[in-house]
Structure 1
């Protein structure tokens, strides 16, 4: 990636927030941001992977602030076509390109002077959980652990398309890849419980609110099917948190990940009466419970491990 182009820096008494644009290997301008402890050395590095249609700087601001106040250096990137990054809105031409962009950016941060000896964690929400798992697949010994919030890593059996439908879909993606032809329920309505939070999401100009594009839908489908087949390859320490009333990603997905992964160190937390948006869309007391679990888990892991072995291999 090309050298970054700085666009914004903000300070407070507890943390520092910075923004910059970088250029991908394909020449696409990508937005990145970071939340850093203002007056102390970071305990560890956390790299954010946001969900489908979402972005980092506004939607994940509370996550970044909470983790930075807890002592972590937190870095996020808007995928191509998402948030403040360039590209056709919410068009995923290649999920592998998206994962490669994240891998390259996070690696450039992790191997900088400030963080090369720190523990490093992936943090993925929803589709970002799939991104995090695929980054781990590319770098199986690189990460100290991962926090996965309602991850997208399996399609419910009753929702899986017939192979003939998949074949037709694949052919159509070569003809009308960007067409908004894929019907879907309003994720904001079914994913975020708090009405005020729904309004804020809809008011966020960087959150995509249209119907999924044809190629995007196909890429998400094929990525989910691929991850599902290879869950037993997941080997890093991880924490999965999932709402039991989630209608966007089925909690059975997280149960399967927990059961299938060969990770020796793995934790699953299920929350009764909570929906998909665990870290943003729930009432304040629910969000506090979820973040207390996440921060406690990160604290134990960052104390127990340093920079992973073979990190530069």
Structure 2
């Protein structure tokens, strides 16, 4: 149940290996392509396909705020592919190699539509296979909203530290939060929302924190007013519609997460209509579960791999 982050170093995503040798080590073929969305923006899409076996299922990956699908999320995607799943991801608008003002999300519905358009196209290549959604942080919220827009399509959803609630330890001071609604209407792209540095409070292991900040496409500025408002509105929508979630659901969350609130995951678990749902709140773990020591990473992703395997076999 080894996660590929075991081979990374603080200086290199692929450790001592060249990218192609790293993919070969895990029995994965990597493909990167640019597509144009309905709004005319070019977006980076990525695929990780098992080399010497027919895929047992498909995993569609939604990355989080400020990140992209080509860095640490890529290691998780390689892990899924090494377990026999065809894996696909897209850099959201303004993230990674995709076009758009850096880390500006003017409308969450447009991001959801981008994901659905790309994921639907890739699912056509695997019509007989069960398809799963996987999302981290903001990506967890996106996975839920994709499911709510496409009920009955997905064989299951795995959400990791999902943005179902924003931690009070990470929110801006209350006067700023109140003013946000007003100011964001007039200067939505202004990057001044006061928050803590996400990497510093997300990764427990210092070397992984250093690797995170070496991502050449990582956003390092303050959150933009409009993006922060969209995140708050997204949390409220999920809270209001959680009872509409019906797909098999696995929620994993670090108990000491100060970015997204574990209580939001508990509320989702309690209110989701899914008859098949599992909640794992891991004692002592932080927001980025990939940022934990090896034994914790193995525990978390071992459970995720096992859940995907079980649900893929149930629907195949």
The two structures share one fold, judged by TM-score above 0.5: yes
Q: CA–CA distance in 2 between the matches of 1:156 and 1:232?
A: 22
Kindly state the Cα deviation for residue 155 of structure 1 after the two structures are TM-superposed: 3.9
1:251-270 map, 5 Å: 251-270=262-281
> Could you say which residue in structure 2 is the equivalent of 1:75?
88
Mean CA deviation greater in 59-68 or 24-33: 59-68
Q: Tell me, which stretches of 5 or more residues in structure 2 are unaligned? A: 1-18
In structure 2, relative to structure 1, the CA distance for the partners of 1:237 and 1:161 (3 Å cut) is farther
Q: Deviations over 1:20-66 (max 9, x none)?
A: 01110001000011111001110000000001101111221210111
- 1:284 corresponds, among 263, 274, 294, to 294
Are residue 199 (structure 1) and residue 210 (structure 2) matched?
yes
TM-score, normalised via structure 1 length: 0.89
Are residue 242 (structure 1) and residue 220 (structure 2) matched?
no
Kindly state the Cα deviation for residue 172 of structure 1 after the two structures are TM-superposed: 2.1
Q: CA–CA distance in 2 between the matches of 1:243 and 1:58?
A: 21
Q: Is the 8 A contact 1:155 1:225 kept in 2?
A: no
Q: Is the 8 A contact 1:46 1:74 kept in 2?
A: yes
Kindly state the Cα deviation for residue 170 of structure 1 after the two structures are TM-superposed: 3.4
In structure 2, relative to structure 1, the CA distance for the partners of 1:233 and 1:157 (3 Å cut) is farther
Q: CA–CA distance in 2 between the matches of 1:207 and 1:49?
A: 16
Kindly state the Cα deviation for residue 161 of structure 1 after the two structures are TM-superposed: 8.7
- 2:313 corresponds, among 278, 303, 311, to 303
Q: CA–CA distance in 2 between the matches of 1:273 and 1:169?
A: 32
> Could you say which residue in structure 2 is the equivalent of 1:4?
none
> Could you say which residue in structure 2 is the equivalent of 1:45?
58
User: Aligned with 2:190: secondary structure?
Assistant: coil
> Could you say which residue in structure 2 is the equivalent of 1:92?
105
Q: CA–CA distance in 2 between the matches of 1:201 and 1:28?
A: 26
Q: Deviations over 1:249-306 (max 9, x none)?
A: 121111111100000000111111110100x211111111111000000000000014
Q: Is the 8 A contact 1:178 1:213 kept in 2?
A: yes
Q: Is the 8 A contact 1:50 1:126 kept in 2?
A: yes
Q: Is the 8 A contact 2:172 2:193 kept in 1?
A: no
> Could you say which residue in structure 2 is the equivalent of 1:111?
124
Q: CA–CA distance in 1 between the matches of 2:112 and 2:266?
A: 24
RMSD: 2.0
User: Aligned with 1:230: secondary structure?
Assistant: helix
Are residue 178 (structure 1) and residue 189 (structure 2) matched?
yes
Kindly state the Cα deviation for residue 230 of structure 1 after the two structures are TM-superposed: 1.1
> Could you say which residue in structure 1 is the equivalent of 2:224?
213
Q: Tell me, which stretches of 5 or more residues in structure 1 are unaligned? A: 1-8, 307-313
TM-score, normalised via structure 2 length: 0.89
> Could you say which residue in structure 2 is the equivalent of 1:59?
72
Are residue 25 (structure 1) and residue 35 (structure 2) matched?
no
Kindly state the Cα deviation for residue 162 of structure 1 after the two structures are TM-superposed: 7.6
> Could you say which residue in structure 2 is the equivalent of 1:272?
283
Kindly state the Cα deviation for residue 165 of structure 1 after the two structures are TM-superposed: 5.7
User: Aligned with 1:26: secondary structure?
Assistant: coil
Paired residues in the alignment total 294
Q: Is the 8 A contact 2:251 2:279 kept in 1?
A: yes
> Could you say which residue in structure 2 is the equivalent of 1:12?
24
